Chain A
Amino acid sequence: MALSTGTDEIVSGAEGPDEKSEEAPSSKNLAGRSPTQIALERLRKDKVALVCSAILLVLVLLAVFAPLICDWLNIYVDYSNPDAPRPSEVLGPDNYPIIGPPDHGFIWSHPLGIEPRTGYDNLAYILYGLRTSLMVAVLATAFSTVVGVTLGLIAGYARGWVDSALSFFIDFFLSFPFILGALALAPIITQRFGGSSDSLARAQLLSIVGVLVFFGWMGLARLIRGQVLSLREREFVQAAQVIGVPTRQVLFKELLPNLVAPIVVAVSLSLPGYVAAEAGLSYLGIGLTESPSLGRMVNNATNYFENYPLYLWSPVIVIMIMVIALNLVGDSIRDAFDPKTRR
């Protein structure tokens, strides 16, 4: 994934405070600040990061409260609710909606119009799609971070064959064609766990998260391995080893806290990647078909682009805003945590 290019530049902020030692004597009230505090302060001053965070906050709130908002606006994403309009009530014989855009102007009851052919409300669908998209991205990021960090720690700390084997696996997965692998893997996981059509939606969610994690952990693992390779030679690690601290404690209590900065940066940069990947796989038809997905909406809307551009452009714009905002925040976080940038 695109992770590898960005994360290579990150240097651990472990021993960050040394850059402050020169200015320290001059100021009267000395306040020790950890590298994380410095980074957070830099972020607070970054206007782009603030604006994008605000946009993301709005998107997250919209996604979290999607059911409430839809109830309040009286719009429906499917027919499970008896109040939802039947397709025959809102669609004409040509499958285009008989109220609202594209032919009858804007109406408040369906701000983004009605989906042709199914009669679902587009705004409701987008809100639920946002929900799916963020959920998949967050789950995939969480799992791939855990896998990547753990394997990276082990590979970097262990010497000999464990390191060689894990490094080989990292390289192997990196040379596996992601999208073709996803093509092969996604339907299998779905079929394994999706017996009835009821559990199919959940199985598809599981399968897409699985595929994203399966092909997404290597960048972070390699990064962490490299960091651990240099950290394990430092005095504090050697001291811990000498006084007999168990290996697991060395890994998670001594090494892990020093890797917070690269992990935070990698997480923030991988979120937009997963959002885009989920929509992309769903667009190709190998992701989600049972739950609302922005990628699938783009695919469905392609045929209507000429007569009903709003239907196509609304999911496209939402995906773009979400991915761009996530990327810009990630970029700001990387700058903030990078001890090489000084302002």
Chain B
Amino acid sequence: MFGFVVRRLLSSLLVILLASFAVFALFYLGPNNPAQPVCDSAGGSRCTPERLEAIEKSMGLDKPVVVAYGTFMKGIVAGREVTIGAATYDCDAPCLGIAYGSRGEVTEELKGRIVPTILIAVGGSIVYLVIGVTVGIMAAARRGSLGDRLLVSGSLIVSSIPYYLICLLAWLYLTLKTDIFPETGYFPITEDPLKTFSGLLLPCLVLGIASSPVYARYTRGQMVETLGDDYIRTARAKGLGGRTVLLKHGLRAAMVPIVTIFGLDFGILLAGTVFTEKIFGIDGIGRWGLDAISAPQDLPVLTATVLVGAIFIVISNLIVDLVYGALDPRVRLG
């Protein structure tokens, strides 16, 4: 068990490092010169080639990409000083750099923006797990009935519709046109938790409901398969109640693949939060990344968003592997 966790942690770390290096190198070698906007905006006087070169030098852009990445990694561990143009910024220990646009510490801004993203992701996944699994169990228990057939064909159609269309229409017609959800958006949780909840309710519901048909179908399929097993018949034969058989015997076994899919779909969930944040105007990681690519591109911000995204996905996969062992006694980690 311990060896397994260590091995998985190491390979996860490798994935995260590679992902961050890939984005870093991409921008570093990309055609956009980050020094150009700094040079253009500084001081009002014209941007001469000499000044551009000086600014490039001060930002460390003249060094090879591996050295620059080394500096970046050192900043995460120990902090560093970042120079952009004439100004020098002191960037503390988990330093992801200084945002070119706002000139604030990326780490500090990240702290503020990660909360709404996590709230949407967690809220959305709770909604779709609860709805999806419940509907799936109910359909499997009434297999072949009208409701079951409606669910199977209906969920295929609903899950085909791209998420951003559902999200956009929900925002336009439920928030702007009618007053069903009058105030959506993110309000800091420290100020008014109730308002935070009501503001994120619609985004979470939309994200959850749009993703739930996939889980309903999947749960139904797994449950139908499990309920056909011999041990279910045994449980019924010895006189256990229908609900006990369904939930304790059936769901327990069907849960393992559902958890796996949940972990694998985490990337899709993150994509969902990007659209949700853009449409509902919530200042989370996704919207931050979107803003950072519009010119002038903000390399430190983009590196940070991809890094955070990769960490999310890797951790979710790690948790799935661990939960797997707890749910399925046949799986021995080691």
Interface residues of A (CB under 8 A from B): 1-2, 4-5, 168, 171-172, 174-181, 183-188, 191-192, 272, 276, 279-280, 283-286, 298, 302, 305-306, 312, 316, 319-320, 323-324, 326-328, 331
Provide the B6-26 mask, 1 if CB < 8 A to any CB of A, else 0. 000001000100110011001
* A323/B161 in contact, CB under 8 A: yes
Indicate the member of B162, B176, B293, B312 with the most A CB atoms within 10 Å: B162
**8 nearest A-B residue pairs (beta carbon):** A177-B309, A327-B160, A179-B271, A276-B162, A188-B30, A191-B31, A180-B309, A324-B160
Residues in B with CB closer than 8 Å to A280 are: 162, 164, 275
Question: Which of B218, B302, B313 interacts with A5 by CB under 8 Å?
Answer: B218
Q: SS class of chain A's interface: helix, strand, loop or mixed?
A: helix
* B15/A184 in contact, CB under 8 A: no
Residues in A with CB closer than 8 Å to B274 are: 179-180, 284
Residues in A with CB closer than 8 Å to B214 are: 5
Interface residues of B in 29-43 (CB under 8 A from A): 30-32
Residues in A with CB closer than 8 Å to B278 are: 284
* B305/A171 in contact, CB under 8 A: no
Q: Interface size on B (CB < 8 Å)?
A: 51
Given contacts A305-B172, A323-B160, 5 further A-B contacts (CB under 8 A): A168-B11, A180-B274, A183-B293, A184-B302, A280-B162
* A-B residue pairs in contact (CB < 8 Å), sample of 10: A174-B264, A178-B268, A179-B274, A276-B162, A283-B164, A285-B290, A305-B172, A306-B177, A316-B169, A320-B162
Residues in A with CB closer than 8 Å to B15 are: 171-172, 175
Known: A171-B15, A178-B267, A180-B305. A187 touches B161 (CB 8 A): no
Residues in A with CB closer than 8 Å to B18 are: 172
Question: Which of B19, B30, B32, B317 interacts with A176 by CB under 8 Å?
Answer: B19
Interface residues of B in 257-309 (CB under 8 A from A): 261, 264-265, 267-268, 270-271, 274-275, 278, 286, 289-290, 292-294, 297, 302, 305-306, 309
Compute how far the CA of A138 lies from the CA of B168 in the bound complex, rounded to whole angstroms. Answer: 26
* B172/A184 in contact, CB under 8 A: no
* B26/A180 in contact, CB under 8 A: no
* A184/B261 in contact, CB under 8 A: no
Compute how far the CA of A192 lies from the CA of B22 in the bound complex, rounded to whole angstroms. Answer: 17
Asked if B314 CB lies within 8 Å of chain A CBs, one says yes
Question: Which of A174, A184, A191 interacts with B306 by CB under 8 Å?
Answer: A184
* B26/A177 in contact, CB under 8 A: no
Residues in A with CB closer than 8 Å to B293 are: 183-184, 186-187, 286
Interface residues of B (CB under 8 A from A): 11, 15, 18-19, 22-23, 26-27, 30-32, 156-157, 160-162, 164-165, 168-169, 172, 176-177, 214, 218, 261, 264-265, 267-268, 270-271, 274-275, 278, 286, 289-290, 292-294, 297, 302, 305-306, 309-310, 312-314, 317
Compute how far the CA of A302 lies from the CA of B167 in the bound complex, rounded to whole angstroms. Answer: 12
* A175/B317 in contact, CB under 8 A: yes
* A302/B172 in contact, CB under 8 A: yes
* A320/B161 in contact, CB under 8 A: yes
* A177/B165 in contact, CB under 8 A: no
* A187/B309 in contact, CB under 8 A: no
Compute how far the CA of A95 lies from the CA of B225 in the bound complex, rounded to whole angstroms. Answer: 59
Known: A5-B261, A172-B18. A319 touches B165 (CB 8 A): yes
Known: A174-B267, A175-B15, A284-B274. A184 touches B309 (CB 8 A): no
Question: Which of B26, B156, B313 interacts with A184 by CB under 8 Å?
Answer: B26
Known: A177-B270, A188-B31, A305-B172. A328 touches B26 (CB 8 A): no
Compute how far the CA of A320 lies from the CA of B30 in the bound complex, rounded to whole angstroms. Answer: 36
Compute how far the CA of A171 lies from the CA of B286 in the bound complex, rounded to whole angstroms. Answer: 23
* A180/B306 in contact, CB under 8 A: yes
Residues in A with CB closer than 8 Å to B289 are: 180, 183-184
* B268/A2 in contact, CB under 8 A: yes
Residues in B with CB closer than 8 Å to A5 are: 214, 218, 261, 264-265
* B156/A177 in contact, CB under 8 A: no
Min CB gap B30→A, angstroms: 4
